[in-house]
Amino acid sequence: MGTLSLKDYDEVRIPAPWGHISGRWYGNRTERPILALHGWLDNSGTFDRLIPLLPDYIGVLCIDLPGHGRSSHLPPGVQYSINDYVYIIPRVMREYNWKKVSLMGHSLGGVLSFIYGALAPHTIDMIISLDILIPLRVDIDYMGKSLEKLLVEAERQDQGNLHEPPSYTFAQLANLLAKGSHNSVTPEFAPNLLHRQVIKSQLYPERYYFSRDGRVKHYHYIDIDPGLAVEMARQLRKKPFLIIKGGLSPYLPPRVPAEGPISILAENNPHFEFHSIEGGTHHMHLHAAEECARHIVPFIQHHRPPPLTSWSLSGREEVRSHKVQSRRNGFFGWGNKKRSKL
């Protein structure tokens, strides 16, 4: 088995009432892939450094959430909301007629994975959450200021329909992205995100402007009460769940706490894993992709193992011999609860 290639993908456009959901489906297109969800103000390019490290027997469908990347913006007067983003997951599942879903989410994408999993745990077969579980709590002042900024942005867009937005050189955009992420996305890795969220200026040939909807900066925030978070985690307590924390990030504790939703996920759950990337920032899957892959790859191989037909075998007799031995071990494809080395 090899790894995925960034060059092996299909562009996808999933119809929606407001337009379409855009994305790229990497690798195997004949079986259900992992659905990858990016973070706030990012896009599917956030997984560009991680994709080439993942096993090639399973595909990965990376989508742009509405208002991000190359997906359609919501109509004027409609506010972006975490609750509405959650429904993107079953919409994608319905498009491809999936009964189950494997989720990998970073930041906002991880929050969406947790919320959806709690609402429909019977459809989840594994979740990989990168540097998040539930959002940090905010006070009423923060929410009020966001509302004011949203109104200002909506007015700016009404006026902006008459002229082109401010444009910048590519280097300037990379620095703006680094500044906006508190250097979690450094200028070195900014191009992984910029290639899906900029438009070339018609007025200045060497400049570009952001294509994402400015309203997503002030989306409707959700504050999950600690008691509710625990009850949500109970719905997923036996599910395969991998959490990877950026060591320098404030979004998760340094280790599994004694109480709270993470402790519920870990309680008597042999399928739960929690790892921390030393020195990792919130976007550690960009600047420390190899370290993340060391945890993600075996997790995928364990909970979404390849079918026998995809394994490298010397002939049909070897396949038949493996099947016979597997039945003797009592569990097809496994012996003594360990993966076959074939």
Rg (CA), the chain: 21
Q: In this structure, is the dihedral angle defined by the CA atoms of residues 323, 325, 326 and 328, taken in order, positive or negative?
A: positive
339: phi then psi, degrees, rounded to nearest 5: -65, 140
| Residues across the chain | 342
Rounded Cα distance between 188 and 190, Å, is 6
The one catalytic residue among 107, 129, 181, 184: 107
Are 9 and 24 a contacting pair, CB within 8 Å?
A: yes
Where would I find the H helices in 161-283? 170-180, 191-194, 226-234, 261-266
Q: Which amino acid is at 337?
A: K
Q: Where are the beta strands (DSSP E) in 247-333?
A: 272-277
6 token code pair: 């960034």
Note if 107 is an active site residue. yes
Provide φ and ψ at 184, rounded to 5°: -70, -35
> Beta-carbon neighbour count of residue 93 at 10 Å?
18
Give catalytic residues, as residue numbers.
107
